[in-house]
Amino acid sequence: MARLPFIAGNWKMNKTVGEALDLIRGLKTAISEVKGVEVAVAPPFTALHAVYKELEGSSIRLAAQNLYWEEKGAFTGEISPLMLKEVGCQYVIVGHSERRQFFGESDETVNRRISAALARA
């Protein structure tokens, strides 16, 4: 069985919650007739819940831009796979070149993130 083509938009560190909702409303209208492709958006963490609520009933899926490998703990600024799942994320971007370049992520830490994501999928 062939897999559907997959298109994801990574918003990076752009869009306030209000701007994100405006973009999603427009995107839903723009692609309402598109068939044969899976679409996901990866807004900033601050907009995940609001975007998820706005996506209800649409075919667009929600993705996070990163995750940490621990479920909870004293990891200031990080977000766990369980937190992402609870706000409706079905996908997560792991090992992005910017995370490696600017935040020093390595093959080891990317592997830990992937393992955590798959364990909670």
Residues 6+ positions from 84 with CB-CB distance below 8 Å: 48, 64, 67, 92
Q: How confident is the model over 38-72, as pLDDT tens digits? A: 999 999 999 999 999 999 999 999 999 999 999 99
Sheet hosting strand 6-10, strand order edge to edge = 6-10, 38-42, 61-64, 91-92
**pTM for this entry:** 0.92
> Which helix or strand (DSSP H or E) is residue 110 part of?
helix 107-119
Q: Give me the phi and psi of 102, to 5 degrees please.
A: -95, -20
Structure token digits, residue 11: 């918003």
Q: How confident is the model over 85-118, as pLDDT tens digits? A: 999 999 999 999 999 999 999 999 999 999 999 9
List of domains in the chain: 6-119 (3.20.20.70)
